Amino acid sequence: MRPLWVAAWACALVLAWCARPAGAAWCIARSGASEKTLQRALDYACSPAGSADCAPIMPSGLCYLPNTLAAHASYAFNSVFQRAREAPGACDFAGTATVTLTDPSYGSCTYPASPSTAGLPGTSTPKSRDNNHHPDLGPDDSGAGADATAAAAAASFLSLALSCFLHLHLPLW
């Protein structure tokens, strides 16, 4: 039988990984999000209420290219997420965003990895390559993304907690 401290150490490592320091995660646009909902979320993130630093995704910014809705939304979502110090729920944006542990930075475009590098808030939403702003086109058509994300997170946590409990309280053969 393994000593109880080995199981406790393993659970402590898993929990320490889950409580990683700020800057170890980024918020990006979820693939498959509807364009209408993604545009509304980007508009919110770059508004004074969202407080994202959207200067880097403006035409003269280092993160303007690729000039796609998903790339611009990812940068803005991450700016809000980092300003919120990776708070739970800060990377949802009506189900259009997800957290990644892989740094999405590329070339000269560096995604903020902490509140201190998240830039200044209040820059307007960038326009598309054809200079037409994507308007708010109506109600959300992306489904229940937020509910599904919350349910998946709860299931993952319960699975982790149950695994730690069983490791600590059941004899191992």
Q: Is residue 7 part of a domain?
A: no
Residue among 87, 83, 69 at smallest CA distance from 29: 69
Instruction: Give the count of domains, the chain.
Output: 1
User: Is the whole-model pTM more than 0.85?
Assistant: no
Q: What is the pLDDT of residue 49?
A: 94
Q: Which residues contact 15 (CB under 8 A, 6 or more apart)?
A: 164
Range of the domain at 73: 21-131+142-159
4-44: per-residue pLDDT in tens?
444 444 444 444 344 444 446 999 999 999 999 999 999 99
Is residue 75 scored above 90 in pLDDT? yes
User: How does pLDDT run across 142-154, given as a tens digit for each residue?
Assistant: 343 444 444 444 4
27 and 80 in contact (C-beta within 8 Å)?
A: yes
Residue 11 belongs to a domain: no
173 lies in some domain: no
Residue 87 or 172, more confident:
87
Q: Is residue 38 part of a domain?
A: yes
CB-CB contact of 44 with 93 (8 Å) = yes
Q: Residue 74: inside a domain, yes or no? A: yes
CA-CA distance, 81 to 104, in Å (whole number)?
A: 14
pLDDT band at 171 (very low <50, low <70, confident <90, very high): low
Distance of CA 80 to the CA centre of its chain: 9
DSSP secondary structure letter of residue 116: G
Closest CA to 41 of 134, 166, 152, 122: 134
The verdict on residue 113 lying in a domain is yes
Distance, CA of 157 to chain centre: 18
DSSP for 148-166?
HHHHHHHHHHHHHHHHHHH
Q: What is the percentage of the chain residues whose pLDDT exceeds 70?
A: 55
Beta-bridge mates of residue 97:
29
Residue 6 forms part of a structural domain: no
**Hey, what are 67's tokens?**
């000039």
The mean predicted confidence, pLDDT, of the chain is: 73
**Tens of pLDDT along 76-98?**
999 999 999 888 899 999 999 99
Whether 153 maps to a domain, the answer reads: yes
Average the pLDDT over 101-122 and give the result: 86
pLDDT score of 14? 45
| Predicted local distance difference test score (pLDDT) of residue 58 | 97
